[in-house]
Amino acid sequence: MSVRGGIARRHFRGGRGASSVPRPRGSGVQSALCLIVLSATGCQAPQNSSPDGVKTIEFTSIRRQLEMTARVRDQEQKSKVGAGSSSSKEKIFEEGLRLETEGSVYHPNFMEFSLAGLFGLLQEDFESEFGDRGRASSDTGDILEFDFEGNFLKKKPYPGTVYARQYRRLDPRPFLSSLQTTTQNYGFAWQYVDDKMPTSLQFDSTDVKLDTLDPDEEPGRQQNTTLRFDTSYRFDDHNVLSFTYDRRTVSEEPFNLAYDSDELTLGHRLDFGASHRHRLDSELVYFDQRGTFEIEQLRWRETLRLTHSETLRSWYQFEIMDRTQGTQSGVPPIQETSYLLSGTAEHKVYESLVSQLFAFGQFQNFKDGLEITRLGIQPSFDYRKKNPWGVLLANYQFRAQTEERQGAGRSFEVINERITFNDPEPAVLSNTEVAVSSIFVTAEDRATLYRAGEDYRVQRVGDRIEIERVPTGRITDGQTVEVDYTWEVAGDLTLDTLTHNFQIRQNFDLGLKPYYRLRKQDQTVTPVDATGVLPEDITAHIVGSEFRRESVRLLAEYEDHASTINPYEAIRLSGDYTHRFHRDGTSRLRLRWVDIDRSGDISRQTEFFTVEARHRQRIGKHLTLEGAVLYRTKDDSLSGPDEGVDLDLSLEWIVRETELRVTYEYGQFEDDFAE
């Protein structure tokens, strides 16, 4: 038996291998050269037998692979405003032997296992310069990766699984040295399969070490341990009592975040009525978290679902929550009791028309004197009708909500809110009245801290916060980051909001899909001189059309967003085309153009254009060529113009059990501040 390996297949379960090198974005020049030579053979391994002839360990196959990788990466940034120029160079060489096997112990029904390991040597060299200062470092080490998984007693009512893994990953970062991640992961899962009392127990421990090639950068570490016990008692198929216990331990460096948490959940499900068509779900949850960020919470929730007929159903929810939440940024701890009651009724008026009515009431009482009462109602209609040309879709939603606050205002803290940057639109925080000085932005790995002004810009629009990435910074387009901040809730006011949402769309059979959307919002604050809330009236019209036909997708959209806080007009055009050639080739072309004209307190016009082309071509029996180019330009009346290009070329040659891959990557970006 023989298998073919390759750089695209070099990874264990649970993570990518060390040779997986994502393409970074941003300015600078970089090149990468990867050389992988693999040799794999399979054979029937010798078996170990006990004196009575039973095989204690049986290997079904053994595969061997030889891997070698060479990688060079250059980065250079030139300042146009006297901030100094910087450059860095990385060299990495790896040689390793991978062994993979599968087998069983005594009998496949007793234990089946898979085992893989990578053993080798690693050499790293790093050089960097900033102005007239330079530094260099070199290091050698061992490569060790492994992946073991064993499945016990798979045909018994109490099967189990154990696993232990260690794998590496190398992530290039714009304007920083590459980040080498080493993950150790082990744990087990056990379950008791029983119709009356099914039970399961799971344990997982993960230790992630984040080491930078630049020794002057601070390393990071993330440790996470979870334990979950889950059991239930089935009185019958329609009456089930359940219990779940979750424990979690988290530790992160260099941000000194560490906490332990315990969560106990007691639940009950009861199906009742004719044909058991109704359901009552009850849940009691206790959550206790100790450490850097402390939370203690007790929640009781009842959910009732009623099916009145084939066309009418309703569901209701009642919840009481009591929580005490600590802080790590000087904000006073939160002590809150909350009551929530909501109900929804859904009626299928006709085959093509469905109506829904939702109503809710919530009362929050904070120990420091703040009380918040929310009442709301929301009717909606959904229409779907086939016609001779295709399908007509329409939706209307009306929402009326009042929020009354009494007592002194107070500050709240948000930890790890996830936002995603998609050029040229800014990311918006979910809460208003945010303290700008409290904003703390990090990468998802929590090892990279981004800096305001260099990596992102913060802009206050009315009472909301917009965050825009700096193109020459370390945040890439499409990247998700985590944000910590504090925000203020003002007291002694009433906020009334009326919202209308309407949309209609005709999906023609030929692929054309024109649409129209309307959003209208009216807000009032009482008293009119109340501070802490800035009411916003909005009337937004969106007209557009989408065309899809085989491998072609086109989109054109115009938006007129009239607002008392943030008015703008936007035109969005995009296209996507894919073509498959007869001689094993595939090409893809993507285009996008956006023009946004803001006319609020600060006039601003943004024009954004990107084009991306990719092609994969098989040349002969053993050779494959891949190429990609991405061009980006943006002209902003406030931040100025910028322009960038990324180029990737890859050549893969495979003959029997040997693979050679060469990759070259080039990126350049320029704006008013740097190149």
52-56, 95-99, 198-202, 386-390: segment of lowest average pLDDT: 52-56
3-class secondary structure for 2-49?
CCCCCHHHCCCCCCCCCCCCCCCCCCCCCCCCCCCCCCCCEECCCCEE
Rounded mean pLDDT, 20-35: 39
pLDDT(23) > 50:
no
Q: How does residue 2 score in pLDDT terms, banded at 50, 70 and 90?
A: very low
The pTM of this model reads 0.82
Return d(Cα 119, Cα 168) in angstroms, integer.
12
pLDDT at 16 over 50: no
Determine the pLDDT at residue 53. 56
Q: Which residues pair with 68 in a beta bridge?
A: 95
DSSP reduced 3-state for 436: helix
DSSP for 150-201 reads EEE-TTSSS-EEEEEEEEEEEEEETTEEEEEEEEEEEEEEEEE--SS--EEE
pLDDT digits (tens, 9 = 90+) for 264-314: 999 999 999 999 999 999 999 999 999 888 889 999 999 999 999 999 999
φ, ψ dihedrals at 158, nearest 5°:
-135, 60
pLDDT exceeds 90 at position 460? no
Of residues 248 and 332, which shows the higher confidence score?
248
Question: From its phi and psi, is residue 271 left (phi > 0), alpha (psi between -120 and 50) or beta?
Answer: beta
What are residue 263's DSSP bridge partners? 246, 287
Q: Which residue has the higher pLDDT, 401 or 137?
A: 401
CA 439 to chain CA centroid, Å, is: 20
- Residues 142, 121: contact at Cβ < 8 Å? yes
DSSP-derived letter for residue 449 is B
Neighbour count for residue 376 (Cβ, 10 Å): 16
pLDDT digits (tens, 9 = 90+) for 207-228: 999 888 888 778 888 899 999 9
pLDDT of residue 80: 77
pLDDT at position 672, please? 74
Of the candidates 84, 175, 77, the one whose C-alpha atom is nearest the C-alpha of residue 675 is 77
The answer to whether the beta carbons of residues 448 and 176 sit under 8 Å apart is yes
The residue among 83 and 530 whose pLDDT is bigger is 530
Residue 636 has a pLDDT of 86
The residue among 520, 523, 565, 518 whose CA lies nearest residue 538 is 520
Identify whether 424 is preceded by a cis peptide bond (ω within 30 of 0).
yes
Question: What's the rounded Cα separation, in Å, for the pair 414 and 418?
Answer: 11
Give Cα separations from 168 to 20, 21, 130, 171, 220 (angstroms).
Answer: 9, 11, 30, 10, 15
Decide if 140 contacts 95 (C-beta within 8 A).
no
How would you list the strands of the sheet with 427-428, edge to edge? 427-428, 464-469, 456-461
Q: What is the pLDDT of residue 638?
A: 81
With vertex at residue 369, the alpha carbon angle to CA 365 and CA 370, rounded to the nearest 5 degrees, is 60
Q: Exposed, middle or buried by CB within 10 Å (0-12, 13-18, 19+), for 53?
A: exposed
pLDDT at position 31, please? 41
CB atoms within 10 A of CB 50: 9
Whether 200 contacts 193, CB under 8 Å: no
Question: Average pLDDT of 662-675?
Answer: 85
588-594 own/partner pairs: CB under 8 Å, 24+ apart = 588/612, 588/613, 588/614, 588/615, 589/613, 594/424, 594/570
pLDDT greater at residue 371 or residue 331: 371
Element (DSSP H or E) covering residue 483: strand 480-489
List pLDDT tens digits, range 156-181: 999 999 999 999 988 887 767 888 88
Give Cα separations from 562 to 59, 407, 498, 520, 597 (angstroms): 70, 34, 16, 9, 12
Distance from C-alpha of 17 to C-alpha of 11, rounded to nearest angstrom:
4
pLDDT digit string, tens, across residues 302-341: 999 999 999 999 999 999 999 998 776 667 788 999 999 9
d(CA 77, CA 667): 11
* SS3 annotation, 586-647: EEEEEEEEEEEEEECCCEEEEEEEEEEEEEEEEECCCEEEEEEEEEEEEEECCCEEEEEEEE
Whether the predicted pLDDT of 24 surpasses 50: no
* Helices and strands per DSSP (H, E), number in the chain: 0, 35
- In the predicted structure, residue 41 carries a pLDDT above the cut 80: no
Please enumerate in sequence order all residues whose Cβ is within 8 A of that of 316, keeping only pairs 6 or more positions apart, or say none: 303, 304, 306, 341, 342, 343, 344
| DSSP 8-state code for residue 448 | -
**Range scoring the smallest mean pLDDT among 86-100, 403-417, 418-432, 442-456:** 442-456
